[in-house]
A and B are shown apart, each in its own frame.
Chain A
């Protein structure tokens, strides 16, 4: 019985040790790498065409700090990106959002490619059929041009 109690106490203390370590880890502020994972999906409108994670301006630094504090609050990446979209507009997102009119950006290119492929397929099929149905060489030659026939007749007469 005593041995069992020892084991139980030891297990309890051991688990406490790991719980403490886990708690300490959750209190650790997000690292630059963690911040940059989210920042890479954003663009600052002040310095256009520069992803937020590599943008050197003060405005971008403030934004990265905003991401850091939101991560520390336990916000998810999606929540952070939604916040930035609501605050600064969809133009700050590296990828267009998947709602409203923005769906067109995702749907139109494949739809156009598909439509093009269908048209190309049908045209190819049509050309192939037309080739098969082309007149054979042993068929009667086309009727001579009337003017040409008369010319040839006149030349023969002159000879």
Chain B
């Protein structure tokens, strides 16, 4: 038995064996690291929403701030609406969202943010002008925001985040009235 083992090991020298093992372990480490990076920290209702960057469209900044993080808005109720210019149901709720924003914008306690999903700047600009949207809007660069917010059903989707940064409500599909939006916000207040 000992003789057999010695014979089979004789084929590959020790340095080569070490190189092969280092290669295999390195490969597994790389794959593991890659998978870790690819795994998005998706938020569920009741979870603190992982932080992400918001790079606003020109003319749709948050108080003249072109770039910020979600965490910069802690202490306020944040309403994140994910939309796209090619999305017909988004058009249905756009006037209601803008009307709701008009109710809260002076209070400085509730912030509406539009996140434009998989869209072209030209299409987005046309859409925002068409519905006279005035609340801050940002593109979903590299689909980072929608993947963190666990987008599963398509657009539109709206996420309500409380003052502590906890996700409190997810609306899948369009709102049908301003009152519907108001009732969710009042429930968080």
Chain A contacts to B: CB under 8 angstroms? 44-46, 57-59, 61-63, 65-66, 69, 86-89, 91, 101, 104, 108, 115, 122-123, 125-126, 130
Q: Do A62 and B86 touch (CB < 8 A)?
A: yes
Q: Do A86 and B141 touch (CB < 8 A)?
A: yes
Chain B contacts to A: CB under 8 angstroms? 7, 11-12, 20, 23, 27, 30, 34, 37, 84-86, 118-123, 139, 141-144
Distance, CA A115 to CA B19, complexed state (A):
11
Q: Do B11 and A123 touch (CB < 8 A)?
A: yes
Q: Collect the chain B residues with CB atoms within 8 Å of residue A63's CB.
A: 120
Q: Do B119 and A62 touch (CB < 8 A)?
A: yes
Q: Do B23 and A87 touch (CB < 8 A)?
A: no
- Give 14 CB contacts A-B under 8 Å: A45-B143, A59-B84, A62-B86, A62-B122, A63-B120, A66-B122, A87-B139, A87-B141, A87-B142, A88-B143, A91-B143, A108-B27, A115-B20, A126-B11
Closest B residue by C-beta to A64: B120
Q: Collect the chain B residues with CB atoms within 8 Å of residue A46's CB.
A: 118
10 more CB-based (< 8 A) A-B contacts, given A45-B118, A66-B122, A101-B30: A45-B143, A46-B118, A57-B86, A58-B86, A59-B84, A59-B86, A59-B118, A62-B86, A89-B142, A91-B143
In order of increasing CB-CB distance, the 5 nearest A-B pairs are A89-B142, A58-B86, A126-B11, A59-B86, A66-B120
Q: Collect the chain A residues with CB atoms within 8 Å of residue B27's CB.
A: 108
Q: Do B143 and A89 touch (CB < 8 A)?
A: yes
Q: Do B143 and A104 touch (CB < 8 A)?
A: no
Q: Collect the chain B residues with CB atoms within 8 Å of residue A69's CB.
A: 122
Name the distance in Å between B152's Cβ and chain A's nearest Cβ: 13
Distance, CA A101 to CA B144, complexed state (A):
18
Distance, CA A62 to CA B117, complexed state (A):
13
Given contacts A46-B118, A62-B86, A62-B119, contact A104 B139 (CB under 8 A): no
Q: Do A44 and B122 touch (CB < 8 A)?
A: no
Closest B residue by C-beta to A87: B141
Name the distance in Å between B176's Cβ and chain A's nearest Cβ: 23
Q: Do A115 and B23 touch (CB < 8 A)?
A: yes
Name the distance in Å between A113's Cβ and chain B's nearest Cβ: 14
Q: Do A101 and B118 touch (CB < 8 A)?
A: no
Given contacts A62-B123, A123-B11, A126-B11, contact A88 B118 (CB under 8 A): yes
Closest B residue by C-beta to A133: B7
Distance, CA A104 to CA B7, complexed state (A):
35
Q: Collect the chain A residues with CB atoms within 8 Å of residue B20's CB.
A: 115
Q: Collect the chain B residues with CB atoms within 8 Å of residue A86's CB.
A: 141-142
Interface centre among B7, B23, B86, B118 (most CB of A within 10 A): B118
Q: Do B30 and A104 touch (CB < 8 A)?
A: yes
Q: Do A104 and B118 touch (CB < 8 A)?
A: no
Q: Collect the chain B residues with CB atoms within 8 Å of residue A122's CB.
A: 11-12
Distance, CA A45 to CA B30, complexed state (A):
26
